[in-house]
Each structure stands twice: as C-alpha cells, then as structure tokens.
C-alpha cells in the first residue's frame, strides 16, 4: 500500500482522495512528440507566412488599417454574404489554433494559458505589423490579432493542455517525488 503524504486525506476526513498523477511519456516518446510538434510548427509557420505576408496588389485600394477592436468584426458581420463573414472570422480563429496546441508541446516553459496567449498575441502582432508596414495590399488589423489569440485559447483548452501534460512532467511533481523517494 502506498503511504499517504502529509497533505493527503486523513481517516474520517470528508476530503476527496488525491487524483492519480499522470506520468509523462518515456523520454524517447517525449522527444519524438516534441520533434513531431516542431515539424508541424515549422509547416504552420510557412503556411502562415504564405497566407499573411504575400502581397496583394489588387487589394491596395480596399485595404485600411484598423486600430480599434471590433471595427473589422462589425464590417465582416455587415457583409451581405454570411459565407464571407464566416470565412474571415473563422479563418482568423483557425490560424490561432495551432499555437494553442503546439506551443506548450514544443516549448515546455511556455505552458499555461496566459503564456500561450501572450506568445500568440506577440507573434500575431508582429505578423500584423509586418503586413501593415511592408506588404503591398495588406494592413494592420487588431481584430485579426484578437481572433488569432482566441483561436489559440480554443486550441489550448481543447487539446494543447492535455498534450502538454502527457509529454512534459511538471517540475513540482518531480521535486515532490524526489523528496518522497529519499
């Protein structure tokens, strides 16, 4: 029988027993998962660059920067074709999902919802600045950053958090296990 820790429930206590701890994958599988996630991240970066940083000379007259959150969203939703709004909003959300899934696996120190969101927002701000400053027919849009970051949140909550926990051990669990084993 496994000995109880000092913080565990005592006899007659109404507290729930501790949840069974999840052990990380063995090292070779962890490395393989990280390599696989890194490969997907590189492929995603190429797709992101192609979608967002290619010039669009035909759009020069139509493009304007948006620094006010919600303005582009309203413009998308006011379009007569719902399909166009879904394409714009859904596409920007989908562009963020890989960040929420892959970042916590590729970069263990970036685990946690706030870190993933800050990293995603930073990368997407840089992409939007590049679009507005360098790319013909593209402009900076704060709503794109918000939608991309929302996509990262969705990806992290649905898949990224679980994948990260499966691949990487938590340091505090490793320290506690070392103390209990000593």
Q: What is the mean pLDDT of the chain?
A: 82
Give Cβ neighbours of residue 154 (< 8 Å, ≥ 6 apart): 93, 96, 97, 100
**pLDDT for 8:** 47
| Residue 57: pLDDT over 80 | no
**pLDDT for 174:** 52
| Residue 76: pLDDT over 90 | no
**pLDDT for 178:** 61
CA distance 63 to 86: 19
Query: For the chain, what's the residue count?
Result: 182
Q: Comparing 34 with 158, which gets the higher pLDDT?
A: 158
Q: Cβ(116)–Cβ(163) under 8 Å? A: no
Give 46-55 contacts, CB < 8 A, sequence gap 24+: 48/95, 48/127, 51/95, 52/95, 52/127, 52/131, 52/135, 52/138, 53/127, 53/130, 53/131, 53/134, 53/135, 53/138, 54/135, 55/135, 55/136, 55/137, 55/138
| Residue 89: pLDDT over 80 | yes
Looking at the DSSP bridge assignments, the partners of residue 141 are: 66
Q: How confident is the model at residue 180 (pLDDT cuts 50, 70, 90)?
A: low
Average pLDDT over every residue of 167-172: 67
Q: How confident is the model at residue 28 (pLDDT cuts 50, 70, 90)?
A: confident
Instruction: Classify residue 23 by its DSSP letter.
Output: P
Evaluate if pTM is beyond 0.75: yes
Looking at the DSSP bridge assignments, the partners of residue 66 are: 141
| Residue 29: pLDDT over 90 | no
Q: What is the pLDDT of residues 107-143, one digit of tens each?
A: 888 888 999 999 999 999 999 999 888 888 888 999 9
Q: Cβ(127)–Cβ(53) under 8 Å? A: yes
**pLDDT for 80:** 79
């Amino acid at each position: 029988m496994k000995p109880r820790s000092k913080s565990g429930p005592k006899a007659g206590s109404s507290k729930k027993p501790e949840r069974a701890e999840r052990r990380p994958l063995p090292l070779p599988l962890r490395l393989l998962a990280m390599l696989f996630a890194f490969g997907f991240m590189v492929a995603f970066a190429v797709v992101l660059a192609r979608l967002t940083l290619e010039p669009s000379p035909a759009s020069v007259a139509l493009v304007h920067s948006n620094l006010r959150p919600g303005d582009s969203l309203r413009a998308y939703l006011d379009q007569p074709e719902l399909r166009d709004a879904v394409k714009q909003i859904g596409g920007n959300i989908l562009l963020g999902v890989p960040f929420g899934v892959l970042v916590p696996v590729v970069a263990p120190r970036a685990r946690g919802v706030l870190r993933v969101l800050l990293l995603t927002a930073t990368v997407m701000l840089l992409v939007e600045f590049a679009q507005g400053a360098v790319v013909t027919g593209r402009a900076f849009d704060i709503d794109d950053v918000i939608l991309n970051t929302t996509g990262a949140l969705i990806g992290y909550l649905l898949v990224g958090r679980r994948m990260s926990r499966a691949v990487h051990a938590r340091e505090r669990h490793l320290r506690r296990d070392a103390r209990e084993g000593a």
